[in-house]
Amino acid sequence: MINVTSPITGLAQTGLTSPTYTVSADVSPTKPTASKQVAVTALGGTQTGVNVSTVSNPFTLTFVRPVALNALPAANPTTGVIGNVPNNNWELLTRKGVTPAANQVPRVMIIRTTISVPSGADNYDAANVRAALSAHLGYLSQQSANIGDTAVTGVF
């Protein structure tokens, strides 16, 4: 169950000291019935030059679930093989207004993580689904500052 609590504690980034993000419940403009969205309304720590969410300069985080969950189809009665296994796609979408140059209108930067789980794996192989998510989120957490530096400098 997705239940974001405020504030969100940010991870280490160059130039950001102890970042926190106070959030308020919001409504996703694209999938209001299949998502939970929060908007950043206040900042904590040292975040010089960072803006909170506004209409023209958004800072939102949206967790989107499949509109209709796919179940595992029945196996072929002759072969026992399940032909086309559908996926259930979950997504975390972060939108942040950024200014591309002086005196320019903010543009929206998008960060998207999609989690595509084959139907049936949630029941049959839940431990490996959880392990994959644990490693993925741990990697993002561990490499937060390095990913930020790479996105800004282009140095890989």
pLDDT digits 0-9 by tens, 68-127: 999 999 999 999 999 899 999 999 999 999 999 999 999 999 999 999 999 999 899 998
pTM above the 0.85 mark?
Answer: yes
Note whether 94 and 60 are within 8 A (CB).
Answer: yes
**Distance (Å, rounded) from C-alpha 65 to C-alpha 32?**
11
Domain-wise residue ranges, the chain: 8-70+86-151
* CATH classification (class only), 8-70+86-151: alpha beta
Helix/strand/coil (H/E/C) assignment for every residue in the chain: CCCCCCCEECCCECCEEEEEEEEEEECCCCCCCCEEEEEEEEEEEECCCCCCCCCCCCEEEEEECCCCCCCCCCCCCCCCCCCCCCEEEEEEEEEEEECCCCCCCCEEEEEEEEEEEECCHHHHCHHHHHHHHHHHHHHHHHCHHHHHHHHHHCCC
